[in-house]
Chain A
C-alpha cells in the first residue's frame, strides 16, 4: 500500500520537538493525517472482506427471493416461494437426513480423539510417532483421500482383502446401498478429521499445569479421576469449539461424498445439492434460498453454543 502519510511529512526535522508539538495542540492537518493512517492500512483488508464475504451474503439473501437462473438479465421477485419449495419438496429436504450420518460420525470422532489425546499426553513409548500417524490424514488432499478410499471400498479392494485375511468374504459393494454408502463415507470423514480434534485436545490437555496431576496423585486419584476432575474441565472451551465445528462440518459435508460418489445412491449432502442446483440446473434463486437456510442453521448453532458455554476469551477488542 502506498504511504501517503510519509510523503507529506517534512524530512526528519527535530523529531522530538515535533512529536511533542503534535501531541499538545496538533494542527488540523496533522490530526487529520493521524486519523487517516489506520484506514490506509485497513482499506485493502476491508475492501476484500466486504467484497467477498458481506456482499455475497447480502446478494444471496436478495437472490433467494427471486427466480433468477444466474445468467439471464431477467429476474423476477417471487417472494418466499423458494423457501416454500425447499420445505415442501421432500427430495430437497432429504439431504438433511444424510447430515445425520456425519453428525453421528462426529460424535464417535470426538470420543475417539479425546481417548487418544488423553493416552498420548502421558508417557507412552513412540509417542511422537503415534501423534504423527493420527494427525497426518488431516493434512492430506481431499481428492487423494477420496481415491484412496474408493479403492479401499472397491470390490476386491483393500477392505475386502483385509477381511478375507480373517476368513470373512462379505462380497458386497460397500458403496452400493444408501445406508452402507453413507456409513462408509462418514467413516472416511472420521478418518480424515480425527487428527484435527486430536491435536486440539492434546494442546489443551498439555496446557494444564503438570503439578495438578501430581497433587491429585498424592491425594490418591487414579487416571479416571484425573480425567474426570482435571482434564475434562480443563479442556471445556476446546471441547465446545469442537462441537460447533463438528455440527457445521456435518451440515456442510461436501468433499468426501462429492469426490467419491458424486452424491449417488442417496449420499447427496446439502452442499452437493446446492452446488448442483446453482451450477448445473441454473437455479440460482433456489440454491440461494438453500444456502441461506444452511447459513442460518450454522449461525444458530454457534449462537446456542455461545449461550451454553460463555467463552470469556473473546477479547479481540
Chain B
C-alpha cells in the first residue's frame, strides 16, 4: 500500500469508529424515545423495538407519566432541593475558601487537612452511620436531609473556590480594608462578585449531581410525597410493571431537561467537569 492510501484507510477507520460509538450511545436512547410514543396496543402486538410508532405525536404516555407517575411533584421537590443545596454549597464553599486563603491563623494547616482528607472518604460508604445522625436531628424523611448532606459534604466546590480566590489580588482586599470595609463586607462586595466564574462552575456541577442523585433521596426520603425525579421514576417499576411505553415516557421526561441544559451550556459543562474532577 502506498503511504497516501494507507493514510486514507486510517482516516476512514477513525471515522468508522466514531460513527459506531455514536450509534452505541444514541441507539438505546432513541429506541426509548420511540417506545414512549407508542400506544399500549402497539406494544402488545410485539412489533419490535425498532419499529416506528404509528402516530409520532401520541403523547398519551407522557400524560400518564405526569399524572399517575407524579412527575410534576417530583420536579417540584427536585427544584426545591436543588435551589437550597446549590445556594448552600456556594455560600459554604466560598466562605471556607475565603477564610483559608486570606487569613493566617492558628490551626490553619489542620483545618485544611480536615477538608483534604474528607475528599478521600466516598459518600456511599458512610451512609450507614450518617443515617443515624440525620435521624437524630429529626430530618429523616424530609427535604432537609438531602439538602444538608449535599451542602455539607461537598469538598470539590471548596477546592474550586480556593483556586479562584487565590487568583484575586490581595491588594483589592487591602484597599477595601483601608476604606474601612469589614471582613464580611470584603467577602460580600469584592470576593463573591469576582468569584462569578467559579460560582458558575459549582452551580453547574452541583446542579447536575443533585438532579441526578438517586442514593441519598432513596435512603432519606422514602415517602411518596417526597419523591424527587430519581426516586419517582424508580417507583415506575411497580405500578407500570411491564408497560414499557409508560416507563419510557418517564425516562424521556427526566432526560429532556438534561439534554436542553447540555445543549445550551456545553462549553461550561465540559470546563466544570474537568475542573471539578482534577482538583
Contacts and interface: CB of A to CB of B under 8 A. Distances in A.
A147 B18 contact: no
B85 to A, nearest CB: 12
Contact of B50 (A12, A38, A162, A288): A162
A49 B31 contact: no
Interface string A294-308: 110011001000000
A160 B102 CA distance: 60
B233 A144 contact: yes
Interface stretch (B53-61, B177-185, B194-202): B177-185
Given A42-B95, A241-B277, A143 B233 contact: yes
A208 interface: no
Interface residues of B, number: 99
B266 interface: yes
B208 A119 contact: no
Contacts of B177: 19
A47 B122 CA distance: 19
Nearest to B235: A143
Interface string A3-17: 101100100100110
Interface stretch (A85-93, A178-186, A213-221, A271-279): A271-279
Interface in B90-114: 91-93, 95-96, 98-100, 102-103, 105-106, 108-109, 111-112, 114
Name which of B106, B121, B126, B234 has the most chain A CB atoms within 10 A of its CB.
Answer: B126
B269 A294 contact: no
B162 to A, nearest CB: 7
Contact of A152 (B31, B102, B108, B120): B31
A191 B24 contact: yes
B274 interface: yes
Interface in B139-162: 148-149, 151-153, 158-159, 162
Contacts of B125: 252, 271, 274, 291, 294-295, 298
A142 B122 contact: no
A229 interface: no
A24 B185 CA distance: 24
B18 A6 contact: no
Contacts of B99: 37-39, 41-42
Interface string A250-280: 0010110001000000000001001100110
Nearest to A274: B128
Given A136-B262, A316-B162, A147 B230 contact: no
Given A147-B250, A254-B215, A291-B125, A12 B180 contact: yes
Nearest to B22: A133
A76 interface: no
Interface size for chain A: under 10, 10 to 19, 20 to 34, or 35 or more residues? Answer: 35 or more
A70 B132 contact: yes
A135 interface: yes
A6 B185 contact: yes
B53 to A, nearest CB: 14
Nearest to B26: A133
A156 B48 contact: yes
A310 interface: no
Given A6-B184, A252-B124, A52 B153 contact: yes
Interface in B32-81: 32, 35, 46, 48-50
B82 to A, nearest CB: 13
B128 A147 contact: no
B32 to A, nearest CB: 5
Interface string A181-225: 000000000010000100110010000000000000000000000
B179 to A, nearest CB: 6
Interface string B170-206: 0000000111101111010000000000000000000
A20 to B, nearest CB: 10
A192 B255 CA distance: 13
A317 B133 contact: no
B92 A302 contact: no
Interface string A226-261: 000000000001100100010010001011000100
B18 A119 contact: yes
A248 B255 CA distance: 27
A52 B133 contact: yes
B18 A124 contact: yes
Interface string B259-279: 101100010011001100110
Name which of A38, A136, A203, A299 has the most chain B CB atoms within 10 A of its CB.
Answer: A38
Given A19-B178, A59-B133, A134-B25, A259 B126 contact: no
A84 interface: no
A6 to B, nearest CB: 4
B84 interface: no
Interface string B229-259: 1110110100000001001101100110011
Given A52-B133, A60-B129, 6 more contacts: A5-B184, A9-B182, A12-B180, A19-B178, A143-B231, A151-B244
> Closest 7 interchain pairs by CB?
A48-B152, A3-B184, A41-B99, A38-B103, A60-B129, A6-B182, A45-B96
